[in-house]
Amino acid sequence: MSAPASSPISLASGYGNFLPPAAAVEAATRVLLAGPLPVTETAGLPELREAVAAAHHSAGGSGPTAANVVVTPGTKVALFALLQTVLRPGDEVLLPTPNWFGFRELVARAGGTLRTLPLRPENNYALAPTQLRAALTPRTRVVLFSNPNNPTGRLYSRAEVAAWLTVTQEFPDLFVLSDEIYNGICFGPEPPPTLLSFPDPGGRHLVVNGFSKSLALVGWGIGYLLAPVAVARACAAWQHATGGGVPAPQQHAALLATQSAGAITSGLIGQLHPTRRVLLEALADLPQVPPVAPAATYYAFPDLRAYLRPGPEPAAASAELVARLQTAGVAVVDGATCDAPGFVRLSYAVPEPLLREAMARLRTALELSAC
C-alpha cells in the first residue's frame, strides 16, 4: 500500500487502523438479530458496569463497584459529564501541558477556566510535587492529567502519581481527574497505574476511559467514567436528561472487549511494534531533532523547533511549519494546539508503507526548509 505523491498521508488521526475484535462484532450482531433492541439503563448495562469496575480492582480485590461506573456515548461525554458536575462558577481546572487539545473546549463548555502548568521536554515532562503545589490556588477545583499522555507518550509511574497525591490530599475540595484512555498501549515493563488504585479517603478521584484506543472499537462511540457514587449518580442523571443510555449493541461489544482486554491489547501492541520502530528510527535519523522514546500510546511528539522560520511568534511559526509539511503531503497535529509550538504529534497507527512514505516526505520538507 502506498499513496500517490499528490495524495496527502495523515499521521494526525487520533484513531488507529485497527479492525474491531471479531468476537465484539459478533456480540453486537447477536443483539441486533435477537429482536427489538432493549432500552438500556441510562448508566449502562449492569454486567458491563460490573466488568469495568472489576477491571479496576487492585491485586487484593478491592476497588470500585458498578455503582461507581457510568457508561457514556464516548469518552468526551464522560469528561464533560464529570466536569459539569463538579465545577462551580469561578472554578479552575489545572492541566499539565503538553496535553490533548480537546480539554480546553470541554472545560470552557462545562463552565470552568483552564489554567496550564507547562512541563519541560528536557526532563521528559516530569512534574515535581513542589511544582504542582505551587500551581494550586484557592480557585483550583480539578487537577486534570492523562496517563499515558497524549501527545507525548509519557507514562507516569506509580511513584510519580503517588507523590502528586500527597499534595492534592492537602486540599479537601480538590478533585483529581485522570484520562486513562491509552492505558493498554504501553511498551515498557510496567503498565500505567490507574488513579483508582490509590487511597482516596475523601472521595475525590475521577477516571475516564473508553474502548476506541486500547480495545480497538474505533468509531463505536462508547466510553465510561468512574467516580464516587454521588458524582456518578449526578452524571447519570445529566445523561438521562440530555440524551440516554448507550445502545445495547455497542454495550455488548464493549463487554466482550472488556472481558478479552488482555488478548486485544496484546494483539494491538504486536501490530504497532513494527511501525513504532519505523517511526522512531526515522526520527532518530533527522538532524537537529532531539531523541524521543515514548513509552506508551501510538504517538511520537518530536521537537522540530530547529526548523521553525525566524520572525513569527511561536504559535504562528509552528502553524507555518505544519502548513509546509501539509504541502509536502504529510498531515500532522500542530504541537501549538497542545501548548507546545514547534513540536508535532505523529501517529504510527498507520500501515507501514504509508508511514515510510510519510516520513520520507517529512524529511524532504525539513531539509528544504533548512536550505
**Domain holding 282: CATH number?**
3.90.1150.10
Our count of domains for the chain comes to 2
Place of cell 449518580: 233
Q: Residue 351: is it exposed, middle or buried by C-beta count within 10 angstroms (0-12/13-18/19+)?
A: middle
Query: Distance (Å, rounded) from C-alpha 96 to C-alpha 115?
Result: 9
Coil, strand, or helix at residue 183? coil
Residues 88 and 143 in one domain: yes
Residue 64 and residue 346: Cα distance in Å, rounded? 35
Q: Which of 259, 288, 317 is the last residue of a domain?
A: 259
For residues 10-31, average pLDDT: 96
Are residues 66 and 39 part of one domain? yes
24 located within any domain: no
Using CA atoms, how far apart are residues 255 and 112, in angstroms rounded to an integer?
A: 33
Identify whether residues 248 and 337 lie together within a single domain: no
* Each residue's pLDDT tens digit, 85-101: 999 999 999 999 999 99
User: Sheet of 69-72: strands edge to edge?
Assistant: 69-72, 223-226, 205-210, 175-179, 140-146, 92-97, 113-118
Task: Return the CATH number at 214.
Answer: 3.40.640.10
- In terms of domains, do 68 and 210 share one? yes
Q: CA angle, corner 142, sides to 137 and 145, nearest 5? A: 115
Q: If you search the block for the grid coordinates 492523562, which residue do you land on? A: 146
Does residue 95 contact residue 103 with C-beta atoms inside 8 Å? Answer: yes
pLDDT of 48 = 98
Tell me, yes or no, whether 321 lies in a domain.
Answer: yes
- Distance from C-alpha of 251 to C-alpha of 24, rounded to nearest angstrom: 10
Strand 223-226 versus strand 205-210 pairing type: antiparallel
Per-residue pLDDT for 1 more than 60?
no
User: What pLDDT does 59 receive?
Assistant: 58
SS3 (DSSP) at 265: helix
Question: Position of cell 511520537?
Answer: 300
* Whole-model pTM over 0.85: yes
Q: Which residue has the higher pLDDT, 293 or 311?
A: 293
Tell whether 254 and 270 lie within a shared domain.
no
Instruction: Say yes or no: 90 and 162 in one domain.
Output: yes
- Give me the residue label for grid cell 484557592: 138
Q: How do residues 214-233 score in pLDDT, each as one tens digit? A: 999 999 999 999 999 999 99
Q: How confident is the model at residue 61 (pLDDT cuts 50, 70, 90)?
A: low
User: Residue 4 above 90 pLDDT?
Assistant: no
| Longest CA–CA separation in the chain, Å | 65
Cβ within 8 Å of residue 281, ≥6 positions away = none
Tell me if residue 309 falls in helix, strand or coil.
coil
Last residue of a domain, one of 236, 259, 282: 259
What's the chain's Rg over C-alpha atoms? 21
Cα 354 to Cα 86, 256, 300, 350: the distances in Å are 44, 31, 16, 7
My answer on whether 170 and 230 are in the same domain is yes
As a whole number of angstroms, the distance between CA 294 and CA 279 comes to 11
What is the average pLDDT score of the chain?
95
Domain that holds residue 106: 35-259
How far is it, in rounded angstroms, from Cα 336 to Cα 319?
A: 8
Closest by CA position to 340, among listed 308, 310, 296, 363 = 308
pLDDT exceeds cutoff 60 at 22: yes
The pLDDT score that the predictor gives to residue 311 is 85
How many Å apart are CA 139 and CA 42, to the nearest integer?
32
